[in-house]
Structure 1
Amino acid sequence: MDLSPVHPGPAADKILVIQDDHRSAYVWEGHLLDQTLRARRPDDLWNFLRERDFHARVVHPLRATGFLRIYEIGRMKLDSSLITTLIERWRPKTHTFYLPTGEATIMLQDIQVLYGLRVDGLAVALPQYMIAMTRSHYLDLLGQYTGFRPQGEAALRGGSRISVTTIREYMEVLHPDITGETEDIHIDWYTRLALFFLFGGVLFPNTSENLVSLRFLHHLQQLDELPQYTWGATVLAYLYRSMCQGEHGHPGGHMWFSAASTGLGLAADLAVAATSTTTRVGCRTSVSPSSYEVGSLAWELPRK
């Protein structure tokens, strides 16, 4: 029996009022057919952990904060073709993937079950006082909470961001000194650096591929309060924002999704992608007129 060909695009576009600015429109017109999104992400954290393990005294507070599972999962292999396909099927109005068999999306339950992140609790928000802070203030705050204060304000980029590589190099120096006899305050400092490393290198990296916002220090002041925040919901909000802005050629926020969440029956591969965060957590965005970065993925528009 002959099967009729599957229609690759929308059967009717009357209700798709933003379709002209959607990435799939370029595909429909014959552009970007052989161009997949390429992953752009910093791997400093995974390179650091590949060569060494956290001491048990650091593992305990990391487990208490609720982030240890992310370290245990480790660096995930990205399926660029799958990511590209899903982005082309994403609809900002409904926050769902439009598939031939119906709609599918990523929910809070996916984030909670797969990664153990809390999906209820206190909102992750930037306090107003940090907006007016200067470079010197950020360096002082970094020194107070982590014992690490790079020399000179040149260590910061854009006033409130620091290189992930700089953090890694400092942790490499500290690592051999973390023992069973290390003072508690130094364990706390090291733990905050490890979490700061996680935020900037995995959870909320930006398009620079190597910078992390010092505004995250606000949430690292009290380690015992970290589990009270809804980090899972924040990750999902980043995903939605990233996908929505990505479809319109603007950089988005953090993008996490699992193939298991799409209803495609695929394995639970984690696709990690990120760009700048919103002002609620304090990273920046940047837009190039001819190319855009979606999560840690980048694609170029055809020249007209």
Structure 2
Amino acid sequence: METSSSSGQLLYGLEDPSVLYLQKKHISNKLLKDGTTHLFKVRRKESKTWDVDIHDNVRYWLDIFGFKGVMDCGKSMKVNNELITALIERWRPETHTFHLPIGEMTVTLEDMQAIWGLRADSHVGYTDWPSKFRDLLGWLPDTKIETKQDGLLITALINQTRIPLGDDLPTYVYIQRARIHALILLGGLILPDTTGCKVPFMWLNAFEDPDEVKNISWESAALSYLYHYLCEASMDKRKELGGPMMLLQLWA
């Protein structure tokens, strides 16, 4: 980007249009022409889960699953939609980097691990969902009230976490509750879609074997989501945002 001229005034534009070849469709193009911009709204739905007391045995399994860093961070700060919008205006799909006055920067897997402690393949496919809900979560959702399209409503999951647990229950009960907390974090904070209110059924498959969950690269999935939504938003294909935008805010 050009930063100065012989007159000393700041100029904003491309020094070499052949490099950033998507500029004509980029949202900054409209901003440069008429000074207008669109404030993006970040979707998230996990905040209420931080008000729920988590049994120590459940927290133990969340740590085993690889969510210790996210849990230790606690409730995320208030969303700064203006900051996220400013970053999107500087995101370049051609290079997957932010073009800033200090140079090009981007969010890396190492950044995600440092901020949230996520490990750097996930399982997909559909099966008998009612049986999977009962076996993995210990409860059978009302398909008319607690589900939406191909996902489970986060509010339904949060309601389940409010049911108190005793201290001398079988281990599988604590594992089931840990899965519910993990799904809330995935659907509401780490891998939210633009609805910001549901968890895709397919994420259940990742939690079938408690000992294998720790081998899933959540940070790779989160980084892919982040890049995807940044690219689409910067090309004016979205007005609301999914993906781990709270992590981007912490990174910034």
Find out whether 1:28 has 2:35 as its counterpart: no
Which among 207, 220, 227 is matched to residue 194 of structure 2? 207
Unaligned runs of 5+ in 2: 1-5
Contact 1:239–1:257 under 8 Å retained in 2: no
Q: Flag as ranges the 4+ runs of structure 1 deviating above 3 A.
A: 151-155, 255-259
Q: Choose the corresponding residue for 2:250, options 269, 276, 279.
A: 269
CA distance in 2, matches of 1:38, 1:3: 38
2:153 paired residue among 160, 163, 171: 163
| Percentage of pairs with the same residue | 25
What's the CA shift string for 1:49-74, capped at 9, x where partnerless? Answer: 22x32111111111111102212212
* Cα distance per residue 1:189-227 (max 9 Å; x no partner): 111111111111111222222111111000011122111
Aligned twin of 1:82: 83
1:100 aligned onto 2:101: yes
Asked if 1:11 is matched to 2:15, the reply is yes
Cα distance in 2 for residues equivalent to 1:139 and 1:156: 12
SS of 1:97's partner is strand
Corresponding position: 1:37 with 2:40 = yes
Q: Is contact 1:97–1:103 with CA below 8 Å preserved after alignment?
A: yes
TM-score, normalised by the number of residues in structure 2: 0.86
Separation in 1, partners of 2:215, 2:63: 14
Provide the C-alpha distance between the structure 2 equivalents of 1:194 and 1:230, rounded to a whole number of angstroms: 18
Given candidates 240, 243, 249, the residue that maps to 1:254 is 243
User: Separation in 2 of the partners of 1:38 and 1:25?
Assistant: 20
Alignment of 1:217-256 (within 5 A): 217-251=204-238, 254-256=243-245
Q: Which protein has greater RCO, CA pairs closer than 8 Å, 6+ apart?
A: 2
Q: Does residue 194 of structure 1 match 2:198?
A: no
Q: 1:152 to 1:98 in 2, by over 3 A?
A: closer
In the aligned structure 2, how far is the partner of 1:39 from the partner of 1:151? 28
Q: If the length of structure 1 is used for normalisation, what is the TM-score?
A: 0.73
What is the CA–CA distance in structure 2 between the aligned matches of 1:246 and 1:112, rounded to whole Å?
24
User: What is the CA–CA distance in structure 2 between the aligned matches of 1:253 and 1:83, rounded to whole Å?
Assistant: 12
1:60 matched to which residue of 2? 60
| 2:217 aligned partner, one-letter code | T
Whether contact under 8 Å (2:42, 2:81) holds in the other structure is yes
Paired position in structure 2 for 1:295 = none
CA distance in 1, matches of 2:230, 2:41: 15
Task: Name the aligned partner's letter for residue 139 of structure 2.
Answer: F
The answer for unaligned runs of 5 or more in structure 1 is: 260-267, 272-304
Cα RMSD (Å) of the superposition?
Answer: 2.4
Is residue 2:144 matched to residue 1:140? no
Note if contact 2:40-2:81 (Cα within 8 Å) is conserved in structure 1: yes
Within 2, Cα distance between the matches of 1:214 and 1:21? 34
CA contact (8 A) 1:171 1:193 kept: yes
- Structure 2 letter corresponding to 1:247: S
